Amino acid sequence: MYNSRISGLGFYVPENVVTNDDLSKVMDTNDEWIQERTGIKERRHVVKGTDTTTSMGVKAAQKAIERAGIAKEEIDFIVFATLSPDYYFPGPGVLVQRDLGLDTVGALDIRNQCSGFVYGISVADQYIKSGMYKNVLVIGSELHSHGLDMTTRGRGVSVIFGDGAGAAVLTREEDSSKGILSTHLHSEGQHAEELSLIAPGMGKRWVTDIIEDNDPEDTSYFPYMNGQFVFKNAVVRFSEVIMEGLQKNALSPQNIDMLIPHQANLRISQFIQKKFGLGDDQVFNNIMKYGNTTAASIPIALTEAWEEGKIKEGDLVVLAAFGSGFTWGSVIIRW
């Protein structure tokens, strides 16, 4: 059986910086309130008419492919994770295939929100391990800003999210001691509505219902989050799935060189760091600059950590995510 390794990384964020003070001009909030609850200082928002979820993903992918040292024609398959596609259908995977000018390679869309990139890495890893593909492009990209309730009514959610994209190329590796050692995926759908966007959806409210009612007070097409409930579940599931991955590989928290958690809330990351007894140099956080970019958060953070020289050959790198669904997962990597 083959193994897979991450051979190239890249990320892209829009130039438009939105600070907490900027948000205080359109809703009843302030910098202290946001930082205290989330750790976020600023985020990036796409200026309308410029980037899309797909175009950001393409820009991140181009960097990852270049850094992998391969021609784009060597990509065998595309996995695209997002909750904010350009279209309701088709998904952005095929749009990336088109915009990168790839022949007729397969493209798979993943809808696992904050856990999307971890799920995507797991899928790509299995394709490579089976021998089906040699180079798989995995993208996480999100354009949240155009779908948020940017008023006081929606501030509990809207201050958290930012736009951006990250990408990784997974390549076949003959050495089984290197690369992705294992992946671990879970879900608990009984809590699906605790972090969700209900409309448009066939089961609740479809586009025709929204148009017919034209109700400015209809919040079904804005994200909803039961913040405290999500936080309590996240810290438990993060810990469980990290330990599951470590134990699978006969490792302990002391073996971790770099933990890249999904950037949901700085308080969650700090809780996990303290629980596992990790130093500041063993956990990478950038939510302060970008907010929660959902499926893009781990590849953006992973790329930045690598660019800054904080991940070196031979390091044990752990990726972990928890999000809407509820879904969660981890990836254990020997770099």
Is residue 186 flagged as an active site residue? no
Number of Cβ within a 10 Å radius of residue 217: 6
Is-contact 330 318, C-beta < 8 A? yes
Other Cβ atoms closer than 10 A to 219? 15
Q: Annotated catalytic residue: which of 3, 45, 262, 265?
A: 262
Provide the 3-class DSSP secondary structure of residue 220: coil
- Other CB atoms within 10 A of residue 37 CB: 16
Q: Is 30 a catalytic residue?
A: no
Residues 6+ apart with CB under 8 A from 213: none
Please give the angle made by the CA atoms of 166, 257 and 303, to the nearest 5 degrees: 15
Contact by Cβ (8 Å): 81, 112: yes
Residue with tokens 């690598």: 306
Task: Judge whether 184 counts as a catalytic residue.
Answer: no
Site of tokens 């893009």: 296
**Residue indicated by tokens 């009514």:** 153
Give the active site residue among 114, 144, 265, 285.
114
- For residue 174, the tally of other CB atoms under 10 A from its CB is 9
Specify the DSSP class assigned to residue 50: S
CA-to-CA distance for 181 and 245, rounded, in angstroms?
9
Taking the C-alpha atoms of residue 298 and residue 115, their distance in angstroms, rounded to an integer, is: 9
Angle between helices 53-68 and 92-99 (to 10 degrees): 60
* Cα distance between residue 287 and residue 187, in whole Å: 24
Active-site residue set: 114, 262, 292
